[in-house]
Amino acid sequence: MGGGPAGLMAAEVLAAAGVRVTLFDHMPSVGRKLLLAGRGGLNITHSEPIDELLARYGVGRPAVEPAVRSFTPTDLRAWCDGLGEPTFIGSSGRVFPRSFRATPLLRAWLRRLTAAGVTIETRHRWVGWPMGADGTVDGAGALVSHGGTTTATHADAVVLALGGASWPRVGSDGGWVPVVRAAGVAVHDLVASNSGVHVEWTADFAARFAGVPLKNVAVSVDGVTVRGDAMITASGLEGGPIYAVGAAARESVGHEGSCVIEIDLQPDLTGAAIADRLARRPKDSISTSLARLGLAPSSVALIRESMANRVPRDAHRLAALVKALPVVVDGIAPIDRAISSAGGIALDEIDEHGMLRRVPGTFVAGEMLDWDAPTGGYLLQASLSTGAAAARGVLARLGVSVEQGAVR
């Protein structure tokens, strides 16, 4: 159930092992979020050593580590090669298909699934489980709604890969949460991840600088520091380093109502070096002094904005602002604008094969599980790996050798 990366991968592993597979998705076509992810270039995984990669999943690492070690970034790149979409490593270590886009890879993938005998039923929404003869939930069955009619589908096993709740217009709307909770399964609330933060800019600053990047900055929240390019938006900040500190910011905003992020506008210079440069031309205006440091107009304006235009002239105090400019965040972008979502099915609700302990016969994969990751290829890697792992769990339950499958 679910035609995103995790569901499609589960279908491939099962079909390659000779299992008859029907894949249901409630959208008119499958792979829509994959296409959205590849709109600016499909970052499919990351090339860093696997232990470093696994550390990116934080507290959710136990949910994904066995799966990722069984279907590694190297395996994923070989899988892409097999689809006729060889990959390359970008300057940041991120991995992309040579075509750079998701469309060719998805088309090749769907051709492979069709050739393997996978049946894809679109506009079919999973709405729960049928009841068995003994009055308990039938985990090897599914209630599927299509055209206003709900029917019971029975199988040997069910894989749920229904996604989180980010970008609901492409299918991930979190509608499964109340249904799964009703079966007694603990599900942590789905919250925005890899999303922008809200900052109450003045109207003039927002009008002048929305859409302007902050190049090569370091962003810190509660001891978490990430370097990269951020983006000023009309309502706050977005971009890689903002997303990467998003969990810490989200927690602070949730507890306190706001938080302060610190932005180092010149991470390649020490505070002492900046103060020394500023002190050399004491008669320069503040804007001229900051421009001589190499700060772009957007960075200079951000200093003025964050300090309500009360910017100190003292070289040491001004250098301290350049190195740790405090920006007050009073909210997180809504989940329907987030790249991904955190939260999901509690990890102790699944066994070592990815099966729900309370609903035997049903396996889960992808963003339905309570793990989180930054952008950089980690999201797709975990989704594809857990999809393959759930399928292997099904094969173990059915007594079918995984060695028959193309994806191990």
Supply the CATH number for residue 375's domain. Answer: 3.50.50.60
φ and ψ at residue 30, rounded to 5 degrees: -95, 165
Residues of the chain above pLDDT 70, percent: 98
Q: How confident is the model at residue 348 (pLDDT cuts 50, 70, 90)?
A: very high
Domain boundary among 303, 332, 361: 332
Residue 83: exposed, middle, or buried by beta-carbon count in 10 A (0-12, 13-18, 19+)?
middle
What are the Cα distances from residue 25, in Å, to 94, 127, 340? 29, 11, 19
Q: How confident is the model at residue 132 (pLDDT cuts 50, 70, 90)?
A: confident
Q: Which of 130-144, 182-196, 365-379 has the weakest average pLDDT?
A: 130-144
Specify whether 379 is located in the same domain as 355.
Answer: yes
Rounded mean pLDDT, 47-70: 92
Question: Is the predicted pLDDT of residue 148 greater than 90, yes or no?
Answer: no
Residue 134: exposed, middle, or buried by beta-carbon count in 10 A (0-12, 13-18, 19+)?
exposed
3-state helix, strand, coil in the chain (%, to 5): 40, 25, 35
Tokens 């009073």 — which residue?
Answer: 330
Specify whether 23 is located in the same domain as 147.
Answer: yes
Specify whether 270 is located in the same domain as 355.
Answer: no
Q: What is the pLDDT of residues 242-263, one digit of tens each?
A: 988 888 888 888 788 888 999 9
Specify whether 130 is located in the same domain as 83.
Answer: yes
DSSP tag of 350: B
Specify whether 203 is located in the same domain as 142.
Answer: no
Q: Write down the pLDDT at residue 405.
A: 44
Helix (H), strand (E) at residue 143: strand 141-146
Which of these, 24, 19, 20, lies nearest to 8 by C-alpha position? Answer: 24
Q: pTM for the whole thing?
A: 0.85
Both structure tokens of 128: 């729960």
Residues of the chain above pLDDT 90, percent: 63
Whole-number Å distance between alpha carbons of 61 and 246: 17
Rounded mean pLDDT, 82-108: 92
Q: What is the pLDDT of residues 273-328, one digit of tens each?
A: 999 998 988 788 888 889 888 999 999 999 999 999 999 989 999 999 999 999 99
Q: Write down the pLDDT at residue 305.
A: 95
Cβ-contact 43, 377 below 8 angstroms? yes
Q: Write down the pLDDT at residue 134.
A: 79
Whole-number Å distance between alpha carbons of 239 and 219: 11
Q: Write down the pLDDT at residue 251.
A: 82
Q: How confident is the model at residue 407 (pLDDT cuts 50, 70, 90)?
A: low
Q: Write down the pLDDT at residue 38.
A: 73
Q: How confident is the model at residue 80 (pLDDT cuts 50, 70, 90)?
A: very high
Q: Write down the pLDDT at residue 404.
A: 43
* pLDDT: which is higher, 402 or 119: 119
Cβ-contact 225, 219 below 8 angstroms? yes
Both structure tokens of 273: 């070096």
Rounded mean pLDDT, 113-141: 89
Specify whether 189 is located in the same domain as 205.
Answer: no
Question: Is the predicted pLDDT of residue 408 greater than 70, yes or no?
Answer: no
Specify whether 102 is located in the same domain as 206.
Answer: no
SS3 41: coil
DSSP for 102-132? HHHHHHHHHHHHHHTT-EEEES-EEEE--B-
Helix (H), strand (E) at residue 225: strand 224-233
Q: What is the pLDDT of residues 15-31, one digit of tens each?
A: 999 999 999 999 999 99
φ and ψ at residue 187, rounded to 5 degrees: -130, 120
Work out the number of other CB atoms within 10 angstroms of the CB of residue 150: 13
Domain that holds residue 48: 5-193+340-404
Specify whether 147 is located in the same domain as 85.
Answer: yes
SS3 182: helix
Whole-number Å distance between alpha carbons of 71 and 199: 40
Specify whether 148 is located in the same domain as 180.
Answer: yes
Domain boundary among 286, 314, 332: 332
Cβ-contact 324, 262 below 8 angstroms? yes
Domain boundary among 315, 332, 349: 332
Whole-number Å distance between alpha carbons of 163 and 198: 25
Q: What is the pLDDT of residues 349-375, one digit of tens each?
A: 999 999 999 999 999 999 999 998 888
Question: Is the predicted pLDDT of residue 210 greater than 70, yes or no?
Answer: yes
Whole-number Å distance between alpha carbons of 130 and 199: 47
Whole-number Å distance between alpha carbons of 301 and 288: 12
Rounded mean pLDDT, 58-81: 93
How many domains does the chain divide into?
2
Rounded mean pLDDT, 115-136: 89
Rounded mean pLDDT, 123-134: 87
Whole-number Å distance between alpha carbons of 184 and 179: 9
Q: Write down the pLDDT at residue 167.
A: 81
Specify whether 44 is located in the same domain as 102.
Answer: yes
Whole-number Å distance between alpha carbons of 13 and 92: 31
Which of these, 395, 287, 343, 349, lies nearest to 164 by C-alpha position? Answer: 343
Specify whether 73 is located in the same domain as 11.
Answer: yes
Q: Write down the pLDDT at residue 403.
A: 57
Whole-number Å distance between alpha carbons of 68 and 50: 9
Which of these, 389, 367, 1, lies nearest to 191 by C-alpha position? Answer: 367
Tokens 């959205």 — which residue?
Answer: 36
Contacts of 83 (CB under 8 A, 6+ apart): 105, 108, 109, 112
Rounded mean pLDDT, 265-269: 94
Rounded mean pLDDT, 227-251: 89
What's the mean pLDDT when you consider all of the chain? 90
Specify whether 155 is located in the same domain as 220.
Answer: no
